[in-house]
Amino acid sequence: MSVRRTLSMLRVRYAVYGFIIMCLIGVGYLLAQASAADVEEWHRAAKVASQARSREFAHEYVTDVKIKPIEEIPVSPLELIPDIEVETKRRYEASWDLLFRGRKFKSFKQYDLNTKCEFYFQNLYNLNEEWTNEIGMFTFDIKDIESDSKMAELKDNDGVKLIDEKALRLYKRAHNIALGMERFRIYDMCFVGKNSNNKHGSLKMNELFEQGGSEGSKSTASKLDKKVIGNKDNLRPTRKASFLSELDSGKFSKFNQWDFEHRMFPFIPYFEQHNFTQVMPIFTGPESLEPLPQGKFPVFNRDTGEATGVETFHYDETKSLWDNWNELSTQCGHRGIVVSAGDGQVDQTVRLLAVLREQQNRMPIQIIHNGQLSNDSMALLSEVAQSKDFSNGPKQSVWFLNVKPTLSESVKDRFDRFKNKWLSVVFNTFEEFIFIDTDAISYIGLEEYFNFDEYSATGTLMFKDRSLRIDSAQRCPVLFETLQPKILEQYYFDTVPQINPDFVEQACMKELTSEEKAYKRFFELGHQHNLESGLLAINKKEHIMSMIISTVLNISPKIGGCAWGDKEFFWLGLLLSGHRYSIYDVEACAVGIPEVKPNENENENDLKKAQQICSLQVGHTSYDKHLLWLNGGSQLCKFPEKFEIDWESIESIRKEFHDNKEEARKAYTDVISIEAAVIPDSTTGMWGHKDMRCKGYLWCGEYFEKIKPYTYNKKIVKGELIHFEQDEIEQIRRLNTIWSNAVFPVRKE
C-alpha cells in the first residue's frame, strides 16, 4: 500500500516539475524574442549615432586644421603617425561598437611589422614623389652658421633675396642625411634578414606597390581585415579604420619596386629583374683570364676553398636587392678572404699571398677592384697563387671581382684610395669574410678569427687603433649624433640604440666596454683615431646594411673627412644601424726591440728608466699577450722611395747611422726585428714621434715604472711591456721574412 502511494506521489511531483519547466521555457522564448528585437533596434540606433558622431568629428577635425609652421611640416612618414594616432583615439572613444572597436581602431604600435613597413615606404612617395638617397643631395639639419650665412646671401640680379631662414630650414630637413639613415634602418628591418624570409605573412618586395593591383594579388594592407576580424562575413571590414586607409594609392601606384630600390641605393645602376645580371660583378678565375659571363659566379667548396662549378644567378623579385645579394653569397661561398687591390698594390698582394701559402690557408680569396687591375696584374697574381716555383704551400683559390658594372657613374670617382675598401666589404660574395690589407701580416691562421668570442657574439671582430690624441673637427661628433634614431623611430619601430650616451658620459673609462670606450673617445673627447681596419671579420649576411651605411657616410662630402680614411666608419656604421658589434679590448701596440728613452727629468725616484719602441707598424696582441697581427708590412719603412728626402731633411737619421747613407738605405727595406711590444697607457696619450721619417708614419710607444714621489715603494706603472718567448720571436721573423722577400715569379715563355 505504502509503495503504491509513494509511486503516485512521485508521478504527481514529476508532472508538476514538467509543467514548471515548460512555463520557464516559454517565458525564456518570449524574452529572447523581445531581447533580439531590442538588440537589433539598439544596433540600428548605435549605427546612426556613430555615423553622426563620425561626421561631427570629421567636421571638427577639418575645421581645427591649422597651417603648420614650416619647422613642423612632416618630412618623414614617422611624423605623420602622431596626428593619425590622435584621430584614431577619438574614433575609438566615440565608437558604440564596444565588442570590436579595439580591433578596428588600433594604435600604430599594435600593427605587425609588415603593415608598419608598408605604411612607411609608401608614404615616402605621398610626402615627396622626388625623394632620394642620392649622396650629393644630402645635407645636415644643424646650425651651421658659415654655410647658412652663405645661403642667406643668395640674391637675384635685382638684389632680391632668394631664400629665407625658414625655407632654408625646410630644405635642410627634407634633405637631411638623417632621413637617409632612418630609411636604411627601416629597410634593414623590413626587407633584409629575419623578416624577409618570405614565410607566411611576411611582406614581399614585389607586393609593396600592389595596392589595388592585378586581380589575385593582395598586399599586406588588403589582407589586414581578415587578419583582424577572422572569416565572419557578416562583420563589416576594418580596412577603413586602419592606418593604411588614408594612403593615396594613386601616388605610389605609378612606381614599382625597381624605382624604389634605385631611390634607396642610387649608387647601384637602375635595374629590373630581367637585367640584374648587368649590374653584377664580373668574375675572373685563376685558371684563365677569360672572365665569366655576367650573371655567372663560382661555387666554392666549404672545406677546400676550391671552385667546384659555375652557376647562374636568378634574381628573386619577392626579395629585396640586398636579400638577393645575400642569397648570391650563400650560393657562392660560406667563408673567405677579401682583399682590395689595383695595379698599385700588386707588389704587396704578392707578399700577402706568399704568407697565406706559408700558413696553409684553405679559404677562397676574392681580390676586388673597380677596373683598376689589369690583365697582366691578374695573370701575375694567379701565378703567385698557383705556382710551385713560387711557394711550396698549397695553391690558393684566387678570384678577381670587377665591380665597375655594379657602380653608378655618378659615384665611381668617390671611391678613391682607402675608400675602395668599401667595394670589397659590400660587394664580395661570401656570407662571412675576413678583410685584410695587402700590407697586413697575421701570425695566426685567418680562419681562427672566426672562433673569437667577440665574433661569435656579434658577427663582427674589429681592433683598436693607436690611442692618439688627435682630435676630429669640432662639428664631426655633432653631425654623427644627429644620425642616430630619433624618438619616433625608437618608439614605433623599436630601434633601440646599442650604446647609452648618458651612461657613457657619466662613467669612467675602466667601467666601460671596449665599444663604449670608442664611443666616449669619439663623441665626448673628440678623438679621431679609435679603430684599425687593416684586418676585420664580418658576417655580411647579418650586417650588410651596416656596411652600406658605413659606405654612404665615408663617401659623403660633408662627413667623409671626419675620420682618417675608412677606419672609424666601420664601427660608426654599425652603431647607426642599431647592430651589435665587437671591438677587441686590447689597445694597439708598437712592436720591435725596446730602447731606453732619453729622459731629461730623470731622478732617483725612477725605478726603471722609460722604455720605448718606435715602429711604422701597428701591432695587435691577444689577451694572453701573443702577437696576433700587425699592419704596415715587415720592413722598416713601406715607402722606400721616401729615403732620399728623409736622408736630406732629417738630421736624426744621419746621426743614427753615423752618416752612412748606404747602411741607412738598406735599413729602410730590411726586415724589422720584433722581440717585444709596448702598449702605451691610453689615458695619458703616450704615443709620440721620434722624427718625421717615412712620411711621419713612425710612432713611438712609451712604457715606464717609477716610485711615486714621497712614498717608499709604491710604484706608478704607465703602459705595458710584453716580451715574447723565443719560439714566437722565431715564428714572427719567419713570416716577416717571407713577406719582405717575396718576389715576382719568373714567367715561363
Which three-class secondary structure state does DSSP give residue 337? strand
Which three-class secondary structure state does DSSP give residue 325? helix
Task: Measure the CA–CA gap between 345 and 701, rounded to whole angstroms.
Answer: 28
Beta bridge partners of 369: 402
Question: Do 626 and 724 form a contact (C-beta atoms < 8 A)?
Answer: yes
pLDDT for 356 equals 98
Task: Measure the CA–CA gap between 352 and 106, rounded to whole angstroms.
Answer: 59
Task: Measure the CA–CA gap between 161 and 154, rounded to whole angstroms.
Answer: 6
DSSP string, 182-194: HHHHHHHHHHSGG
Question: Do 208 and 74 form a contact (C-beta atoms < 8 A)?
Answer: no
pLDDT for 587 equals 96
CA dihedral 236, 237, 239, 241 (to 10 degrees): 40
pLDDT for 365 equals 97
CB atoms within 10 A of CB 177: 22
pLDDT for 690 equals 84
pLDDT for 576 equals 95
Q: Using CB atoms within 10 A of its CB, is residue 16 exposed (0-12), middle (13-18) or buried (19+)?
A: exposed
CA dihedral 618, 620, 625, 626 (to 10 degrees): -90
In degrees rounded to 5, what are phi and psi of residue 150?
-65, -40
Strands 430-436 and 333-340: parallel
Task: Measure the CA–CA gap between 333 and 540, rounded to whole angstroms.
Answer: 12
Q: What is the DSSP letter of 524?
A: I
Question: Do 516 and 504 form a contact (C-beta atoms < 8 A)?
Answer: yes
Q: Where are the domains of the chain?
A: 1-62, 70-141+176-264, 590-741
Among 553, 567, 482, 554, residue whose Cα is nearest residue 518: 567
Beta bridge partners of 630: 441, 619
Task: Measure the CA–CA gap between 593 and 611, rounded to whole angstroms.
Answer: 10
pLDDT for 748 equals 43
Task: Measure the CA–CA gap between 558 and 180, rounded to whole angstroms.
Answer: 14
Q: Go through 555-564 and write b for each residue having 16 or more CB atoms within 10 A of its CB, e for each that does not.
A: bbebbbebbb
Among 437, 443, 433, 435, residue whose Cα is nearest residue 358: 443
Residues in the chain where the model's pLDDT stays below 70:
1-71, 142-165, 194-202, 211-253, 472, 560, 565, 599-608, 744-749
DSSP string, 110-154: GS-HHHHHHHHHHHHHHH-TT----GGG-B--S--HHHHHHHHT-
Among 399, 428, 431, residue whose Cα is nearest residue 283: 399
pLDDT for 69 equals 52
Q: Please give the grid coordinates belonging to residue 373.
A: 687591375
Q: With a threshold of 0.85, does the pTM exceed it?
A: no
